[in-house]
A and B are shown apart, each in its own frame.
Chain A
Amino acid sequence: MKDRSEPSEAEVVAGCERGAGWARRALFERHHRAIFRFLVARCGNPDLAEDLVQETFIAAYGSISSFRGDARVETWMMRIALNCLYAAGRRGELGRRKLAEVEAGDPRAEWLHRAGRGAASGHAERDLLQRALARLDQEDAAVILLHDLQGYRYREIAETLDVAVGTVGSRLSRARGRLRRILEDLDPERQETMPADHLTSESEEGTEIEPGATASRVSQRIVWSER
């Protein structure tokens, strides 16, 4: 009976289709944390990330009947989360606050600090990484976070982003190269520990995202407002 200790994915999906409260809750309990972590890493704003998680689940409950079972629920949900993130980017919600302001306004930062877990160095590192990720375009950031933060395999990333598996590897390689260079720009002191990258072809495209970029580019990118 071991594998029956909790409802299966199919049972939960079927329950959600019927609108069963336990199933909705079960879907939420299983996936909200992973989706939140992905979103907060990307947008750097816990409150906004929570709002986007909310949007994601409302959209998922509303379209659960379109889930065909050819993908895992997790990747299907993550795809919805990505769409919500893109929509927030188009609405301009992602660039309204600087990371520092978000940090200052997040009571949980102080809470973690007092709990002894959020040492200042940890915050600085997260801040740095989030600022660097924010300079990547959506797809580059997504592929890095899905793999390195969420632990997705290439196949799962392909499922989420609706691309070929072979594309994931090349996209990940390119995205990491860009991220490394951005990190070097943002944190020159750390540059010494990074190898001098002899793969100069990575610098073929600038990574700075200007607020004045064309609409189509902006729609695919998160722009931090560096006031």
Chain B
Amino acid sequence: MNGANGCDQTRERIGALVDGELAGRERLAVEQHMDGCAACRRHRDALIELKARIAGMELAEPRALRIWQGIDEELRARPPWTRWVAGLRAGDLRAVAALLLVAAGLALGYGYAALRRGAPESGIEPRQPPPIALTVGDYVDQATAGTPEAFWARYTAIDAPPDALPDVLTDSLEFRPRVRRSLPGGYELRAVKLLKDACCYTIQLRYESERGVLDVFQCHDDHPVTYGRARAQRRVHAGLQYTSLDWDGTPLQGRAFSTDGVSVVLVGALEPGLADQILEDLGQEGVLPAAFEARPLPGDYTGTKLDGTPFAGSELHGKLVLLDFWAVWCAPCIAAVPELNRLQRELGGEDFEVVGFAVHSGDLDRVAAAARELEMQYRVVAGDEDVVYDYDVLGYPTYLLLDRQGRLVRKYVGALPDLEQRVAADVRALTAAPR
């Protein structure tokens, strides 16, 4: 079969062979042909090379948040009834009813609008977080006042080879150029922690000097909201000039630093008195606390139920509780809702309950609307935000598993692919244990 004619016939099959789509006798025939035909072997090699070149194209990555923002805005700009109409199947009798309703609605709407003409426009105002008071001292104030470039220009260059940095950083291209071994004022890098896959996808860099501790949080551009930790530091939430997106498409505006692609939050301790307080709080630990040990929590977790009545975590003593710290703008939190629904459905009852503890999510109506739209089938409360700091919650989602006395027994941080399995295993182990 060799020769130009045989090659013509074999050409297409060589492609299928290279693509792994050829089997049996066809595959054998092509291989036999190539054994005796150098030109077809070169053809095969060229195909393999071409495939590798296409597969290896270095393409830009999508800016997921930007795209999602556009989608969400577009969907929300449409009248609510369009979604329902879009869901109708062809031939569905409801289509007729929908058309009638639309016509009636339009007529009513025009009439109503005419009646209300001149009245102030209603609707949800973009949520504006309260202004952040920076009270920690000149250094931070200067940094926040300056441009990002000026801010980073104040830092010295990395004086260690990149491979000396923890692997988690070298894996994270966005952050690598931002890491500095030392900062002005004698601050040296002491500890690094990557909260991978948490909503904020945050790196925490801890600097220390004789004057105190400075935590720098760096976030990926897509999740640019980070909140600080530590009780004494809570006043210093410096954020970036970020624009994020609430779950309902509302832009969130905030104050923070922004360098291209990276958001930075400083939780500083540069004021001498505050630094002393922080050192006292942290004790001699000097590094991030190793959590996860069974221990009492500082105080109860309180909030407001969706019906407006007060909620206290102590109401749930006697059963295990999975306390889900989530926010309405937090994509990984939202993605976990089906898993939490299943946990509640399969394990919930007298011995276990899932509690969605919404924080940094606006008013009660907003939380209630989110719970409804996201189809949360477990208890949801608007949590008191002090709990975030008291319980040392760094990013969202964070899940705390509490025992029957309300003590912390497990902590799950971030968007975990096996959250459901882990929680289920822990709950089963705990419920099997003697009370």
Contacts from A to B (Cβ < 8 Å): 1-2, 4-7, 11, 15, 17-22, 24-26, 28-29, 32-33, 36-37, 40-41, 46, 49-51, 53-54, 57-58, 61-65, 106-109, 111-112, 114-118, 122-123, 125-126, 129-130, 144-145, 147-149, 151, 153-154, 169-170, 172-173, 176, 179-180, 183, 193-195, 197-199, 201
Contact = CB atoms under 8 A, between A and B. Distances in A.
Nearest to A115: B173
B234 interface: no
A129 to B, nearest CB: 6
Interface string B1-25: 0001001100111011001010000
Nearest to B375: A20
A109 B75 CA distance: 31
Nearest to A153: B21
Which 3 residue pairs spanning A and B have beta carbons closest together? A195-B42, A148-B54, A36-B62
B-side binding surface: helix, strand, loop or mixed?
Answer: helix
Contacts of A57: 67, 71
Given A21-B334, A21-B373, A58-B75, A41 B59 contact: yes
A-side binding surface: helix, strand, loop or mixed?
Answer: helix
Given A32-B67, A195-B43, A5 B420 contact: yes
Given A22-B375, A40-B59, A180 B50 contact: yes
B149 interface: no
Interface residues of B, number: 68
B430 interface: no
Most buried by B among A21, A58, A61, A111: A21
Contacts of A24: 75
Given A115-B176, A169-B13, 8 more contacts: A1-B421, A2-B421, A19-B84, A21-B334, A22-B335, A154-B19, A195-B45, A201-B8
Most buried by A among B45, B74, B86, B420: B86
Contacts of A169: 12-13, 15-16, 19, 21
Nearest to A8: B338
B190 interface: no
Contacts of A25: 68, 331, 334-335
Given A50-B63, A63-B86, A173-B15, A126 B338 contact: no
A160 to B, nearest CB: 16
A145 B54 contact: yes
18 contacts: A25-B334, A33-B62, A37-B62, A41-B57, A41-B59, A54-B71, A58-B75, A111-B260, A112-B173, A115-B173, A115-B174, A117-B58, A125-B53, A125-B57, A126-B58, A183-B50, A195-B46, A198-B43
Contacts of A18: 87
Contact of A62 (B51, B70, B86): B86
A32 to B, nearest CB: 6
Given A5-B419, A41-B57, A123-B58, A20 B374 contact: yes
B60 A1 contact: no
Contacts of B177: 114-115
Contacts of B334: 21-22, 25
A149 B247 contact: no
B54 A116 contact: no
B60 to A, nearest CB: 4
Contact of B60 (A46, A65, A179): A46
